């Protein structure tokens, strides 16, 4: 396992949470069932009411993320809302590059929920430029035993490398063998 993938795993597995007592996602249908909401800020876990919570989430939702130029990474917070409670602890998170309308699996890993019956997962991931490239559209899918629980798309943007188009050869290379 490469060090980049390991960093991605650790970042995502560190914060699985349950939207607990407020009952935001557990009291029937939600506007985000089967969806993954992405944000550049931490996802809220409480609010005065269900309506206030989803209003906060809508305002915070982002689908385009700018690269951190120092670390050459994107940090993406997300909340995944499952269609029904999951009677399992393990989910698989898959990230596909769908920029050219084909699915290219970039990374797939397992993470664990805090309890059975969870209807959502709140966490974050860090994506490396080296592994994902720049100016790409990513499709994030959360599955359990091959069944899709939630999905969503977002874009990672940054400044692409610039090439001057000039190749310089030494005299020895130009003259050949």
Task: Render pLDDT for 147-165 as a digit per residue (tens, 0 to 9).
Answer: 999 999 999 999 887 766 6
pLDDT digits (tens, 9 = 90+) for 58-78: 999 999 999 999 999 999 999
Residue 37 contacts residue 78 (beta carbons within 8 Å) = yes
Query: Is 169 inside a domain boundary?
Result: no
Number of domains in the chain: 1
Model confidence at 16, pLDDT cuts 50, 70, 90, reads very low
Query: Is 13 inside a domain boundary?
Result: yes
Query: Is 171 inside a domain boundary?
Result: no
Give the pLDDT of residue 171.
80
* Contact residues for 59 (Cβ-Cβ < 8 A; gap 6+): none
Query: Is 40 inside a domain boundary?
Result: yes
Q: Which domain holds residue 80?
A: 3-160
Looking at per-residue pLDDT, the higher value among 105 and 13 belongs to 105
Query: Is 99 inside a domain boundary?
Result: yes
pTM for the full predicted model: 0.78
Query: Is 126 inside a domain boundary?
Result: yes
Average pLDDT, stretch 115-140? Answer: 95
Question: What CATH number is given to the structural domain containing 128?
Answer: 2.60.40.1930
Give the pLDDT of residue 28.
56
- Buried b vs exposed e over 75-85: b needs ≥16 C-beta within 10 Å? ebbbbbbbeee
């Amino acid at each position: 396992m490469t060090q980049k993938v390991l960093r991605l795993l650790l970042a995502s597995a560190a914060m699985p949470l349950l939207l607990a007592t407020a009952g935001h996602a557990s009291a029937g249908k939600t506007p985000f069932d089967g969806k993954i909401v992405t944000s550049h800020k931490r996802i809220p876990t409480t609010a005065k009411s269900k309506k206030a919570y989803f209003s906060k989430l809508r305002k915070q939702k982002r689908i385009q993320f700018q690269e951190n130029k120092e670390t050459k990474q994107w940090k993406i917070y997300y909340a995944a809302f499952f269609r029904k409670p999951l009677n399992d602890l393990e989910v698989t998170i898959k990230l596909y590059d769908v920029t050219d309308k084909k699915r290219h699996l970039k990374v797939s890993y397992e993470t664990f929920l805090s309890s059975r019956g969870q209807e959502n997962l709140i966490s974050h991931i860090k994506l490396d430029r080296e592994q994902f490239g720049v100016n790409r559209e990513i499709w994030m899918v959360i599955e359990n035993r091959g069944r899709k629980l939630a999905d969503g798309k977002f874009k990672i943007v940054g400044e692409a490398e610039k090439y001057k188009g000039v190749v310089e050869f030494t005299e020895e290379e130009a003259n050949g063998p």
